[in-house]
Amino acid sequence: MAHLKEQWPGLDAIPHPAGRRPDTLDMENSDFVRPMQRMFQWSRELGPIFETQAPGFGMVVVTGADLARDLFDDTRFEKYTGFGIEAFRPVTGDGLFTAYNDEENWALAHRILLPAFSREALMRYHPKMAGSVGRLVDHWTKTAGDGPVDLGESSVSLALDMIGQAGFGFDFGSFEGGGKNHPYVSSMVNALAYSVLPPQLQQEREAEFRSWVTTMNGTVDDVIDTRRRSGTSTDTDLLGMMMHARDEVTGKRLPDENMRYQVTTFMVAGYGTTASLITFCLYFLSRNPGVLSAVRAEIEQTVGDAEIDFESVYRLRALRRAVDETLRLWSPTPAFLRVAKEDTVIGGRYEVRRGGWAALLTSGLHRDPAWGEDVDAFDPDRFLPERVRAREPHLYKPFGTGPRACIGRQFALHAATLALAETVRSFDVEVPQDYTLSVAEGGFFMPENLEVSVRRRT
The tens digit of pLDDT for each residue in 247-277 reads: 999 999 999 999 999 999 999 888 889 999 9
Q: Is the pLDDT of residue 179 over 70?
A: no
Secondary structure (DSSP) of 82-141:
-TTTGGGHHHHTTSTTT--TT-HHHHHHHHHHGGGGSHHHHHHHHHHHHHHHHHHHHHHH
Distance CA 216, CA 189 (A): 11
Decide if pLDDT at 84 tops 90.
no
- Residue pair 65/370 in contact by the 8 Å Cβ criterion: yes
Amino acid 12: pLDDT: 86
Contact 166, 271 (CB under 8 A): no
Confidence of residue 112 (pLDDT cuts 50, 70, 90): very high
Quote the pTM value: 0.93
Does residue 332 have a pLDDT over 90?
A: no
Q: Is the pLDDT of residue 113 over 50?
A: yes
The mean-pLDDT minimum among 172-181, 232-241, 429-438 falls in 172-181
Give the per-residue pLDDT at 401. Answer: 94
d(CA 167, CA 212): 22
Is the separation of the CB atoms in 208 and 187 below 8 Å?
Answer: no
Domains and CATH numbers, the chain: 1-81+336-365 (3.30.43.20), 93-331+372-456 (1.10.630.10)
Q: Label residue 377 exposed, middle or buried (CB < 10 Å: 0-12, 13-18, 19+).
A: exposed
Min mean pLDDT across 229-243, 356-370, 428-442 is at: 229-243
CA distance 266 to 243: 15
Q: Residue 458: is its pLDDT beyond 90?
A: no
The HSE-up count of residue 55 (CA atoms within 13 Å, CB side) is: 7
Rounded CA-CA distance 65/396 in Å is 9
135-178 pLDDT, tens per residue? 999 999 998 778 899 999 999 999 999 999 999 988 888 887 65
Element (H, E) at 451: strand 451-456
Residue 32 has pLDDT above 50, yes or no: yes
Q: Mind telling me the catalytic residues?
A: 273, 399, 406
Buried b vs exposed e over 116-126: b needs ≥16 C-beta within 10 Å? bbeeebbebbb
- Average pLDDT score over residue span 85-94: 88
Q: How far, in Å, CA of 72 to CA of 9, rounded?
A: 24
Q: What is the mean pLDDT of the chain?
A: 91
Who has greater pLDDT, 40 or 195? 40
Distances (CA, A) of 268 to 138, 275, 326: 25, 11, 20
Residue 232 has pLDDT above 90, yes or no: no
Predicted local distance difference test score (pLDDT) of residue 93 = 93
Q: How far apart are CA 375 and CA 382, in angstroms?
A: 10
- 49 pLDDT exceeds 70? yes
Q: What is the reported pLDDT for 144?
A: 79
- The predicted structure's pLDDT at residue 199: 76
Cβ atoms of residues 150 and 451 within 8 Å: yes
Beta bridge partners of 339: 78, 357
- Residues 172-201 have a mean pLDDT of 79
Specify the pLDDT at position 234: 63
Residue 49: name the closest of 343, 348, 375 by CA: 348
Are 361 and 39 contacting, i.e. CB atoms less than 8 angstroms apart?
A: yes
Are 53 and 84 spatial neighbours (Cβ–Cβ below 8 Å)? Answer: no
Q: Please report the pLDDT score of residue 235 as a whole number.
A: 67
- 346 DSSP 8-state letter: E
Diameter of the chain measured on Cα atoms: 71
Read off φ and ψ for residue 247, nearest 5 degrees.
Answer: -70, 130
φ/ψ of 332, rounded to 5, equals -55, -40
The amino acid that residue 138 corresponds to is D
For the beta carbon of residue 18, count every other beta carbon within 10 angstroms: 10
Is it the case that residue 1 has pLDDT exceeding 50? no
Please tell me which of 21-35, 209-223, 305-319 the model is most confident about, judged by mean pLDDT: 305-319
Average pLDDT on 387-396 reads: 96
